[in-house]
Amino acid sequence: MIQPVTLHPSFQVLLVDDEPAWLRSLSLTLERAGISNIASCQDSRKVLPLLEKGQVGLILLDLTMPGYSGEELLEIISERYPDIMVIIISGMNELDTAVRCIKKGAVDYFVKTDMQEHITKGVLRAISSHEMKLVAKGMGQRLLSNKLEHPEAFDEIITCSNSMFSLFKYMESVAISSQPVLVTGESGVGKELVARAIHTLSERRGKRISLNVAGLDTTSFSDTLFGHHRGAFTGAHSTRPGLIEQARGGSLFLDEIGDLDLQSQVKLLRLLQEGEYFPLGSDRPKNAQTRIIAATHQDLQKKVQEGRFRKDLYYRLCIHNVHIPPLRERKGDIPLLLDKFLQDAATEMGKKKPTVPPELLTHLKNYSFPGNIRELQGMVYDAVSTHKSHVLSMQSFLQAMHADAELHTEDSTEPPEPFAQFEDLPSIAECTVMLIKEAMKRADDNQTLASRMLGISQPALSKRLKQLKD
């Protein structure tokens, strides 16, 4: 089966020149650089009708042509289509002409005798710049709208959080860009689900391939990503394409990017900067037509300060950053996730979905979930696996939360000072009132649960609450 081709960039690059040979040569040069969404025009009088279709984002324009001259077209395009970028590629190496064209709105000026690599890099810079403008424009429009354009792309992500909804709108905006995306967040928040959604939204026709880079040494990283030629090293009996090639026209998800060693970071940086790579055993570069999505639970800025992560690579990866908030900051999602995991676990184990005791949600909402969504899923599956009666037992949940609390108590340093915010110490009576109010708040006004938190009996708590009302 032939792999469908993903056009890059998402907008059209229009080449305008009256010399067919130059058009063919320039088209081939750009295609070798991974630019496939190209259209050509030999008649300058046909350019404006082409622009009316709204598909062109960048024009490479010759100056000397019959019909409209390049400068005349440049003025018209700058006035009527200010969002379209124009690069002049002329046969004349004249400084005055170049300055005049830049003043009229051209973003760059090249001479046809310039090295093709020089011209290509200029075109790639313009494409990147236009993509960022489209992202910014789309983001502004989405911020003003309360609707997602493609809500189906987020079906796997269970949430009712406003912060997550804002992230979804941001993801819709950056998905069209070919620039890298860095997905950050604590372990278990669902970074791979976010990577899937970004790939789906990008409408790239190639595959989405995932790789956990933690533990890969430099050689393994290079071989896995870039592939190798036959005879490149002992045991390389045949040529093998790397994941970059397999994800051509699609996305490559690099998980745990914070664990990548410094030598591998250099190779990844070159791939992102130059858009090309060398398979092991080859001296000919290959063009990469793959969108990189990286993820980490680590603080990369801190690693940069410590010299364990390259600053230039960090900024390359962080062009678009999706930071997923932890579950403790979106506790409204807990009931939805609990219901989803209960249904999934019951279906998988061939059991009837159990009834949830009302106190369970209160306990879960008062738990910090250091393992986030993955931890909650594990709790649910463990509880359903031992479930026998109609109502789900809370025992396994309480044990798991208690064990984790003990673990974090042992690992933690000195506990935070609870009275640091007070200039004058509160009285014992005032402390008692604050504790009771906080316990009732955390227990959703359930006196039985609040009394357990305070370590007193329910009748004793009830008596104190009555005294507060009086």
3-state secondary structure 405-419: HHHHHHHCCCCCCCC
Structure confidence at residue 2 (pLDDT): 39
Amino acid at 240: R
Rg, C-alpha atoms of the chain: 30
Q: Which residues contact 456 (CB under 8 A, 6 or more apart)?
A: none
Strand-pairing partners, residue 241, are 227
Distance, in Å, from the CA atom of 70 to the CA atom of 91, rounded to the nearest integer, reads 12
Start-end of H helices in 275-424: 300-305, 311-317, 334-349, 358-365, 372-385, 395-411
C-beta separation of 198 from 170 below 8 A = no
What would the two tokens of residue 240 be? 């093998």
Can you spell out the DSSP letters for 67-125?
A: SS-HHHHHHHHHHH-TTSEEEEEES---HHHHHHHHHTT-SEEEETTS-HHHHHHHHHH
Burial code (b: 16+ CB inside 10 Å, e: under 16) for 252-275 equals bbbbbbbbbeeebbebbbebbeeb
* C-alpha 74 chain-centroid distance: 37
pLDDT, residue 136, reads 75
User: What order of strands is seen across the sheet that includes strand 251-255?
Assistant: 208-212, 251-255, 291-296, 181-184, 320-323
DSSP tag of 363: H
pLDDT at 435: 86
- What is the Cα–Cα distance from 470 to 467, expressed in whole angstroms? 5
Contacts 24+ apart (CB under 8 A), 139-145: 139/169, 139/170, 139/173, 139/174, 142/169, 142/170, 142/172, 142/173, 143/169, 145/169
- The pTM (predicted TM-score) of the whole model is 0.74
Does a cis peptide bond (omega within 30 degrees of 0) precede residue 9?
yes
Residues of the chain with pLDDT under 50: 1-4, 409-412
Which structure tokens are listed for 108? 């760059």
Q: What is the pLDDT of residue 129?
A: 87
Q: How far apart are CA 270 and CA 172, in angstroms?
A: 27
Residue the block writes with tokens 């689900």:
193
12 vs 40: CA distance, rounded Å: 10
Residue with tokens 């424009």: 137
Going by C-alpha positions, the residue among 209, 207, 157, 204 that lies closest to residue 185 is 157
- 126, two tokens: 């313009």
Q: Which residue type is seen at 195?
A: A
Reduce the DSSP state of residue 40 to 3 states and report it. strand
> Could you tell me which of 112, 74, 107 has the C-alpha nearest to residue 90?
112
HEC secondary structure over 216-252? CCHHHHHHHHHEECCCCCCCCCCCEECHHHHCCCCEE
Looking up tokens 């932890």 gives 326
